[in-house]
Structure 1
Amino acid sequence: MNKNFISYAVSHRGVIRELNEDAYVELNKYNLWIVADGMGGHEAGDFASQLVVDVIKAEVEELPVSSISTEMLIKAIQSANTKLLEYS
Structure 2
Amino acid sequence: MEEIERSPKMMIAAFKALWPQTFVDQKLPPLKIGISKDILDSGLPKDRPFTALEIQKGLQHYCNLPKYKKGLRKEGRIRIDLDGQPAG
Per the normalisation by structure 1, the TM-score is 0.29
Higher relative contact order (Cα pairs below 8 Å, separated by 6+ residues): 2
Tell me which protein shows more helix as a share of its residues: 1
Tell me which protein shows more strand as a share of its residues: 1
Per the normalisation by structure 2, the TM-score is 0.29
Larger Cα Rg: Structure 1 or Structure 2? 1
